[in-house]
Amino acid sequence: MSESPGSPLLIVEDDLALQKQIKWSLDRFESVTAADREQALVQFRRHKPMVVTMDLGLPPDPDSVSEGFKLLEQLLDAEPDTKVIVLTGQNDQANALRAVALGAYDFLAKPVDPDVLGLTIDRAFRLAELQAENRRLQAVRQSDTLAGLITRDPELMRVARLIERVATSDVTVLLLGESGTGKEVLAQGLHQASKRSGRFVAINCAAIPENLLESELFGYEKGAFTGAAKTTVGKIETAHGGTLMLDEIGDLPLPLQAKLLRFLQERKIERLGGRSEIAVDVRVVCATHQDLKAQIAESRFREDLFYRLAEIVVEIPPLRARTGDAVLLAHAFLRRFAQEHKRGTLSFSEEALKAIESCAWEGNVRQLLSAVRRAVIMADGSRISCEDLGLPRPEGTPDSQPPLELRAVREAAERQAVIAALARTDSNIARAAELLGVSRPTLYDLMNRLAIK
């Protein structure tokens, strides 16, 4: 069985008898061969090997090393992370050191001990795999400026990039989306990306009675009303220097809408019972699942306030419209809750993953989170079933599922297939590549070309 992790070993040797001998001694690796520079380049482009063994002396003049050095430079120019192991003559240490200086991974003197060569190739493959995984993790960290946002959906990624672009300004942002889509996560990400020194303060306008909401927002002076035993700072003041999130802004009563509009225009507030104005530097982010334009038409929301709040409008897609995100989030929630409940061996059954993919998730991320938390508590064994999640078994046969074999789908469907495979395998590159029917290097190339982080 091959030990080559996803890509073959390329053996470049002009002596065909020696080439066959080397390949035979390394039969545990999947390998391809080449006898000259041109053949080597063709094989390299076709198979994208992570590790190459090569002799510096190649046709048309095996006594010269010029062709070997030319090939080495071309290979490393095409893919700098390729591990090239140079095989040299006994008295050719100078050229071996020159090859290493040009970027070769290692060199061995002929005649080569097969065990030493095999061990060197093993280490080269292992290092190449670690470096590839490190690059992938760095790309994910660099792309995930918004802490807490877990997605590979192109539309939500576009939303995240928009949030990042407006974060450094002070414009008011209005987040629109169904309940449970992650509006507060995006608001917190906006605050963190803004680098504002103050706090992130959130208040739900629908959760506080109308007669208390004004004092919660603006604060009050001692004696302003019965029970006001001391001066209390409101949420707007508390967020000074930071970000204030007004969740469910569509439920803000009309009298408070006028007062909020004045604050947004003047950036000054008056506490209840107070006489002096207080300047407040705060970034305002609002969120709602309601249709504010419909409320304006019904005279339940002020049009001038809407346009003050809607300097930047961000529409967040529901979970059912986000390709692969349901399974991706389910894996993340499973890890979190399994650790909390000390059940680290839990995993989803294949049927459960298909049920998660096919569910409409009317409650969006919040519903999914609750379902996974319940499943972690209720599951008897190490595998979470549809019953544990409270989901119906998916109908139809596996053939009715969206095809994930890349050879069977058109180029326009590649992104959806790759994202679905990564989500179903919990971002395991090897298993995703196996599911798609391609090698790991091919999957990495697809991810880079499709800008999937």
Residue 13 belongs to a domain with what CATH number? 3.40.50.2300
- Under 8 Å CB-to-CB from 349, ≥6 apart: which residues? 383, 384, 385, 386
- Under 8 Å CB-to-CB from 427, ≥6 apart: which residues? 328, 331
- 175 and 308: one domain? yes
Judge whether 168 and 346 are in contact, CB under 8 Å: no
3 state SS of 309:
helix
Q: CA 8, CA 120: separation in Å to the nearest integer?
A: 15
Per-residue pLDDT of the chain (453 residues; tens, 9 = 90+): 344 456 799 999 999 999 999 999 998 899 999 999 999 999 999 998 999 999 988 888 877 788 899 999 999 988 888 999 999 876 788 888 899 988 999 999 888 899 999 999 999 999 988 888 776 665 554 444 565 688 888 899 889 889 988 988 889 999 999 999 989 989 998 998 888 889 999 999 999 998 899 999 999 999 888 888 899 999 999 999 999 999 999 999 999 999 999 999 999 999 999 889 999 999 999 999 999 999 999 999 999 999 999 999 999 999 999 988 999 999 999 999 998 888 877 889 889 999 999 999 999 999 999 999 999 998 888 889 999 999 998 875 344 445 454 443 455 578 888 888 888 888 888 888 888 888 888 888 888 777 776
- 310 and 343: one domain? no
Judge whether 225 and 182 are in contact, CB under 8 Å: no
Which residues, listed in sequence order, are joined to residue 83 by a DSSP beta bridge?
A: 51
Q: Is residue 2 part of a domain?
A: no
- 105 and 177: one domain? no
Q: In which residue are the tokens 């071996």 written?
A: 96
- 329 and 241: one domain? no
Structure token digits, residue 220: 């009050």
- 274 and 406: one domain? no
Structure token digits, residue 113: 């001990």
Which residues, listed in sequence order, are joined to residue 88 by a DSSP beta bridge?
A: 109
- 184 and 313: one domain? yes
- 349 and 218: one domain? no
Other CB atoms within a 10 A radius of the CB of residue 364 amount to 23
3 state SS of 335:
helix
Q: At what angle do helices 429-436 and 440-449 cross, to 10 degrees?
A: 90
How far from each other are the two terminal CA atoms of the chain, in whole angstroms?
31
Half-sphere exposure of 89 (CA within 13 A, CB side): 11
- 305 and 401: one domain? no
Phi-psi domain of 269 (left: phi exceeds 0; alpha: psi -120 through 50; beta: other): beta
| pLDDT tens figures, 353-398 | 999 999 999 999 999 999 999 999 988 888 899 999 999 988 753 4
Q: How far is CA 203 from the centre of its chain?
A: 29
Judge whether 80 and 112 are in contact, CB under 8 Å: no
- 171 and 301: one domain? yes
Other CB atoms within a 10 A radius of the CB of residue 402 amount to 11
Q: CA 140, 143, 144 angle in degrees (round to 5)?
A: 80
**CATH code where residue 405 lies:** 1.10.8.60
Structure token digits, residue 51: 């590790």
| Tally of domains within the chain | 3
Please identify, among 141, 173, 208, the residue that sits at the C-terminal boundary of a domain: 141
- 295 and 377: one domain? no
Please identify, among 106, 141, 176, the residue that sits at the C-terminal boundary of a domain: 141
Q: CA 237, 238, 244 angle in degrees (round to 5)?
A: 85
Which residues, listed in sequence order, are joined to residue 399 by a DSSP beta bridge?
A: none
Report the b/e string of 170-190 with b at 16+ CB within 10 A. Answer: eebbbbbbbbbbbbbbbbbbb
Q: Which domain holds residue 125?
A: 9-141
Whole-number average pLDDT of the chain: 87
Please identify, among 292, 317, 342, the residue that sits at the C-terminal boundary of a domain: 317
- 185 and 76: one domain? no
- Could you write out the DSSP letters of every residue in 85-145? EEEE-TT-HHHHHHHHHHT-SEEEESSPPHHHHHHHHHHHHHHHHHHHHHHHHHHHHHH--
Judge whether 263 and 283 are in contact, CB under 8 Å: no
**Model-level pTM?**
0.58
Q: Is residue 149 part of a domain?
A: no
Alpha carbon distances (Å) from 68 to 23, 71, 72, 84, 376: 19, 5, 6, 11, 58
Phi-psi domain of 317 (left: phi exceeds 0; alpha: psi -120 through 50; beta: other): beta
Taking alpha carbons only, the member of 317, 357, 21 closest to residue 149 is 317
Alpha carbon distances (Å) from 14 to 37, 104, 377: 9, 19, 63
Q: Is residue 3 part of a domain?
A: no
SS3 content of the chain, % helix, strand, coil (to 5): 50, 15, 35
- 188 and 212: one domain? yes
| pLDDT tens figures, 296-315 | 999 999 999 999 999 999 99
3 state SS of 252:
coil
DSSP assigned state of 220: B
Taking alpha carbons only, the member of 182, 191, 180 closest to residue 151 is 182
Taking alpha carbons only, the member of 362, 357, 359, 351 closest to residue 384 is 351
Q: How far is CA 405 from the centre of its chain?
A: 22
Q: In which residue are the tokens 């007062």 written?
A: 259
